[in-house]
Structure 1
């Protein structure tokens, strides 16, 4: 074999091949030709190719391996499925058995989910499914609520709201109404609305109004400040009639004008008839009642002396308070529509003479300085009232003229908004505050309105933060014309009386929140335990703390001698009166009291308010937190936190106080009133109240044991109980009291006609008002009749819980 293979001669090989195929055509190549690259395929062709490559890659790298893994699992599933089917068939009907197993699996799953859930969560729902789900954590909401309260915000609002005079129906009043409306809207309240109502209003005029001695040796200064050109500075009493010209008559001083003061004049042989009666503001009798008593004695007019006030350590004797003289104890609201609303009524208004709510003689307030000078003219004659001031003997005469501007129909504006409820949208809690004032109203209307705005901010902030809405609605209302016989709140209640009797179950009044440092708590007995519970959760300021004192509850007990008893004596001329006396709606008011302050004068400015109460903003914040907690509990608690057992206990105490009141009267027949039926009815209510407490306890125990799961049947029973608790109040309303007290329908709670305007701790005035009226009139039959009627109504009310 040769070392190298022979060379391959292609031409020779080809020449030796047989010519059996077509000859291969030869092409010449042009060496100088320019090279051109192949044209690329179109975009669609390339996209299809790329897609196929991805699909093939995914199939090879993912689907294939997974298929190899799943095949054994699938074979295992088939094996166990066949075993499962055969086992089911051995147990019984496969369809029935499978359904039972499905239910067991679902229930077990729900149980595991609820056990693993964070039970301290703040959010939840309250639907009407098998379970109502998680309820909202009240304590976490309340704790968060505190974080939104800003003393600085309260201060700024009080300062702005008292920066202008805002007598009801004036431009200043309307400006603040629009401010409140915009605040409601900006914070997200539902349907914020400025509601226009109409009422009788009157205003002072400098021209034609004067008070002077008949010999012109003295004339009273009938305005505050340095000028009589501004209406809000002028002296007048809202709802006072004009004098129909000049009155010239002798005048007599009668101390505070209380019944015992007038009796002293009679005993001294000094007659009030055809005289001008000069009295001090204050005492035991409301100012309108003093005017009524003077009119019955045929006096020609009443002059009120404003007390001297100490403001910022300096005495001020030139203050003039402007206090309503419309007869609130007959009917609240427009003095020309007692007991009914003219807003939607074709009856129209009564004449001034025919209305029992109107004052029948003119009145005029003066300052302490002028009052002292006027009484000094009497030269120490007549009866000595013990303070160096004498009645006089009708020897000196006054000339008096009152010429107010009267508007029988004038606009006023309430502002309304609410947070809707998620469960019982037709039952709600109401926060209300006065907005108008006699002048600037820093400590009263501005204080209450600022608190109202702060509560709006707090609750809407909770809404946004937690996507929360209360179980039942929360309403916020700014009332106008509070200084005019509570016209704003009373007319609002009259217009919606039937609706409110069914839909609202608690009223919280915001007024005069911090004018001292003594904590005052007044509430309907149904809410006593609730108030105590929330008092114990609000911490004290450092300046308030003492030995073993950490909360407002500790402070309240300390200031009341270790007693935690809560008063029900809501007697003042405030917006809770229509709610209590026309609706029997459980109401409350809480605030710091103690300092006397000229609430109804132009001295009630922000500057003076700051001088009087240096720590008032922190006290305001405390009260707002407390009221916010109470309102939250009332609106969010699954069962409305009314305790009818406490109500029954307090009613028994009130019946004993009623007997004490009767025995304190001069008529010996009143000592023989029979209280047996009343106390038996209260005992019956106590029995049914215990059933309510048992249901509440059992329901709460059940829900707590099931991680807040509430079956639909239990949920329906709970809501039904809430309805009963809210509607039971209307059982005590008696619409047949007649014109004598047309605005007073409540036979269980409310004001007797002769009750003092301020709580004197002598009696439980705000209970059994019609019985107390009969006792005060020494009418044994009337008192006994009214007592037996209350007993019958208590028996009827008890049956609400027997269904």
Structure 2
């Protein structure tokens, strides 16, 4: 049947309704005696047939299939449950609801009263769940908002596994693992598996493609001697062949060369023999190159291990660490550029054992008398260094994290070198052992107490340490790093030495007597260098003082035991406990424990040394340091403001039984945001003059070690200008302005 559209307008002549109703033919056709018409009869017959069908009996059970019988039985049971259980419950619920509504109406507006009752019910449920143990909680809290430090430390001391540390050290020292070799990859995977077992968050091995140098053939010929030095190489040495006389340079310092110059000893184009020590190998190479040596032969500082060849790196981090062609090396501030690789020396080098060097010393005469005669090029020799250079050679970092529960973007980075000059039992394997056991202890704290740090911890097993700190560079440029702790060469003596940013000095002083800490100034290039250069406060720690065959293939587990470096692994245990305490301060103290007053004091001391250095290097020039003094004094403003806030914060939290109000938490987070990037407030975006990779104008190494000043890792741009005889006033004003701007930005942030 079609539906036709009806017009809203009434047609003409159809405005009135009909007076009589319509006539239905079927009704009219009905007989006078009441007999229905034919159409009615047909309709009634159809209806009767329907009733007959409906009244048919259901077929008996025998006529039904198994599925039909099952459905029939299930329906009957459901109907019974609904009739006997659900319907009465529904009626009871409706009755109770009516009574409940009536009672609520007596109390006031039912809608408002319902909401109030709902809030109370939810609070009761939450309280029950929180106190029942159904949900995990931080069991390290003993009242208050923060972990009970003594509880964590007492448990940690009870679970330190000395046997496991010894097993780790023995395995790590069982094979050579030079950076980028098969042995290095085996240990990287071993550590990766351990990270996974301890449930660290990690993405597998971090690959680095860097320039690597491997020896192919190294020989030295003189008189009737011909030595194969192929396994006595320096990392990142340059290839080359030199035929000339040998001159002994003592330690190869600027003052040693000055003595040779005073005695008019000719060393131009010579093969320069020098001992390790006093200054870095990279600086020795720079000085020798600038003075005119054609090649360098290194040897040990003493005859303690006369047949050990020390494979040290000669990469030059003074210009920049890492490989400039490595992905991730450059940032927006340090763009990638194709330029000569300044980290590679321009003259070749190799290593002699003490006994080999002794044979040469015995043949030298005349010249300057150091501990041995320098000679004067009369002993002729041919030195040939053939190397294999591999660009984009793979090496690896292994990274893992414990994510902080409060400010996860504030990251404490803990690193230990993994690659070694050979087997590396003491250096670097003891550091890796401490790293692994620290991870194990923190894992057990997490499982025992469901503890999480307030801030994130990132653990790194570093590759490329012998090749200009490639691995460390990749993590030094991240803005999240708030502090770097280096564990390389952890157990090498009886004296626990600490070199640290002054920001952590107050915290370290808490443990000075307990661990007999020996505080040292920065004077060595380590994996901390890239972090310091980018404005990340850093610290290195380890037991030092014993002689061992360092950097050689005699640095084995067997010699570690025979030399009694740590026979009972007690120093491993003590160092682990000390490091754990420092780590907990950095990631679990409510307020990051940086002390600006110590920072100011260190800079004032450094400035006094700088003034003395200026008078010594350029006595005719009267430099003005008043602006720097004023700028450094302004740091005290931050220190005082910080101390006042921390004191007020402690009073409020103590009054509340250790509970921190939410508004106060927000203020504390803001302070931590500023403290975590504190040294970055004082960096120069353009970098140091001629060494633009380094951004830290306050704490970075001077280009050349002045030898008699232990604060040469401060104010590098000014010191460089003074050393090279340049006008240093511009750099003095630049540093003063950086400090003043940094203080201003810190306060306003």
After TM superposition, the score normalised by the length of structure 2 is: 0.80
User: Given that residues 159 and 606 in structure 1 are in contact (C-alpha distance below 8 angstroms), is that contact kept between their aligned partners in structure 2?
Assistant: yes
User: Given that residues 323 and 329 in structure 2 are in contact (C-alpha distance below 8 angstroms), is that contact kept between their aligned partners in structure 1?
Assistant: no
* Equivalent residues in 2 for 1:230-269, closer than 5 Å: 234-243=231-240, 245=241, 247-269=242-264
Looking at structure 2, the residues matched to 135 and 339 of structure 1 have their Cα atoms a distance apart, in angstroms, of 37
State the shift of 1:265 in Å.
1.2
Looking at structure 2, the residues matched to 734 and 344 of structure 1 have their Cα atoms a distance apart, in angstroms, of 10
The one of 638, 642, 651 aligned to 1:688: 638
State the shift of 1:276 in Å.
1.1
The one of 299, 310, 326 aligned to 1:305: 299
Partner of 2:719: 772
User: Given that residues 138 and 452 in structure 2 are in contact (C-alpha distance below 8 angstroms), is that contact kept between their aligned partners in structure 1?
Assistant: no
User: Given that residues 309 and 598 in structure 1 are in contact (C-alpha distance below 8 angstroms), is that contact kept between their aligned partners in structure 2?
Assistant: no
State the shift of 1:615 in Å.
4.0
Looking at structure 2, the residues matched to 261 and 653 of structure 1 have their Cα atoms a distance apart, in angstroms, of 29
Partner of 1:699: 649
Partner of 2:504: 527
Looking at structure 2, the residues matched to 659 and 698 of structure 1 have their Cα atoms a distance apart, in angstroms, of 39
Distance 1:402 1:195, change over 3 A: same
Partner of 2:344: 358
Q: Give secondary structure in 1 for the equivalent of 2:732.
A: helix
Looking at structure 1, the residues matched to 713 and 334 of structure 2 have their Cα atoms a distance apart, in angstroms, of 31
Partner of 2:389: 406
Q: Give secondary structure in 2 for the equivalent of 1:307.
A: coil
State the shift of 1:122 in Å.
6.4
Looking at structure 2, the residues matched to 348 and 333 of structure 1 have their Cα atoms a distance apart, in angstroms, of 14
Distance 1:291 1:414, change over 3 A: same
Partner of 1:230: none
Looking at structure 2, the residues matched to 469 and 418 of structure 1 have their Cα atoms a distance apart, in angstroms, of 12
State the shift of 1:164 in Å.
0.3
Q: Is residue 160 of structure 1 aligned with residue 171 of structure 2?
A: yes
State the shift of 1:524 in Å.
0.5
User: Given that residues 309 and 597 in structure 1 are in contact (C-alpha distance below 8 angstroms), is that contact kept between their aligned partners in structure 2?
Assistant: no
Partner of 2:147: 136
* Equivalent residues in 2 for 1:235-384, closer than 5 Å: 235-243=232-240, 245=241, 247-282=242-277, 284-310=278-304, 316-334=305-323, 340-341=329-330, 347=336, 350=339, 354-378=340-364, 380-384=365-369
Deviations 1:519-563 (A, max 9, x none): 211110111111222x26xxxxxxxxxxxx7x21xx23xxx6xxx
Partner of 2:184: 173
Q: Is residue 204 of structure 1 aligned with residue 215 of structure 2?
A: yes
Q: Is residue 797 of structure 1 aligned with residue 709 of structure 2?
A: no
State the shift of 1:650 in Å.
2.0
Q: Give secondary structure in 2 for the equivalent of 1:473.
A: strand
Distance 1:506 1:669, change over 3 A: same
CA RMSD of aligned residues (A): 4.0
Q: Is residue 222 of structure 1 aligned with residue 259 of structure 2?
A: no
State the shift of 1:348 in Å.
6.5
Deviations 1:657-681 (A, max 9, x none): 2223333x242135x2222111111
Q: Is residue 744 of structure 1 aligned with residue 691 of structure 2?
A: no
Range moving further from structure 2, 641-650 or 365-374: 641-650
Distance 1:800 1:491, change over 3 A: same
Deviations 1:191-213 (A, max 9, x none): 2420101111111224xx20020
Partner of 2:578: 626
Q: Give secondary structure in 2 for the equivalent of 1:358.
A: coil
User: Given that residues 123 and 137 in structure 1 are in contact (C-alpha distance below 8 angstroms), is that contact kept between their aligned partners in structure 2?
Assistant: no
Deviations 1:72-130 (A, max 9, x none): xx9xxx9xx99x99xxxxxxxx99x999x99xx99x99xx99xx9xxxx963799xxxx
Distance 1:649 1:274, change over 3 A: closer
The one of 429, 433, 440 aligned to 2:423: 440
State the shift of 1:344 in Å.
14
State the shift of 1:454 in Å.
0.8
Looking at structure 2, the residues matched to 171 and 153 of structure 1 have their Cα atoms a distance apart, in angstroms, of 24
Partner of 1:421: 404
State the shift of 1:303 in Å.
1.0
Partner of 2:373: 390
Range moving further from structure 2, 299-308 or 261-270: 299-308
State the shift of 1:342 in Å.
10
Partner of 1:190: 201
Distance 1:166 1:651, change over 3 A: same
Q: Is residue 709 of structure 1 aligned with residue 659 of structure 2?
A: yes
Looking at structure 2, the residues matched to 139 and 766 of structure 1 have their Cα atoms a distance apart, in angstroms, of 36
Looking at structure 2, the residues matched to 688 and 167 of structure 1 have their Cα atoms a distance apart, in angstroms, of 46
The one of 469, 485, 492 aligned to 1:515: 492
Structure with the bigger RCO (C-alpha within 8 Å, sep 6+) is 1
* Equivalent residues in 2 for 1:52-63, closer than 5 Å: none
Looking at structure 2, the residues matched to 453 and 344 of structure 1 have their Cα atoms a distance apart, in angstroms, of 35
State the shift of 1:740 in Å.
3.1
User: Given that residues 687 and 696 in structure 2 are in contact (C-alpha distance below 8 angstroms), is that contact kept between their aligned partners in structure 1?
Assistant: no
User: Given that residues 433 and 452 in structure 1 are in contact (C-alpha distance below 8 angstroms), is that contact kept between their aligned partners in structure 2?
Assistant: yes
State the shift of 1:373 in Å.
0.4
Q: Is residue 462 of structure 1 aligned with residue 412 of structure 2?
A: no
* Equivalent residues in 2 for 1:721-736, closer than 5 Å: 721-736=671-686
Q: Give secondary structure in 1 for the equivalent of 2:408.
A: coil
Looking at structure 1, the residues matched to 213 and 617 of structure 2 have their Cα atoms a distance apart, in angstroms, of 41
Looking at structure 1, the residues matched to 282 and 188 of structure 2 have their Cα atoms a distance apart, in angstroms, of 28
The gaps in structure 2 that reach 5 residues or longer are: 1-98, 132-136
The one of 442, 460, 463 aligned to 1:480: 463
Deviations 1:330-364 (A, max 9, x none): 111127679944999995654xxx22221001101
Q: Give secondary structure in 2 for the equivalent of 1:404.
A: strand
The gaps in structure 1 that reach 5 residues or longer are: 1-73, 86-93, 127-131, 224-233, 311-315, 537-548, 561-565
State the shift of 1:610 in Å.
1.7
User: Given that residues 438 and 576 in structure 2 are in contact (C-alpha distance below 8 angstroms), is that contact kept between their aligned partners in structure 1?
Assistant: yes
Aligned length: 657
Q: Is residue 596 of structure 1 aligned with residue 547 of structure 2?
A: yes
The one of 105, 117, 139 aligned to 1:123: 139
* Equivalent residues in 2 for 1:40-79, closer than 5 Å: none
Q: Give secondary structure in 1 for the equivalent of 2:397.
A: strand
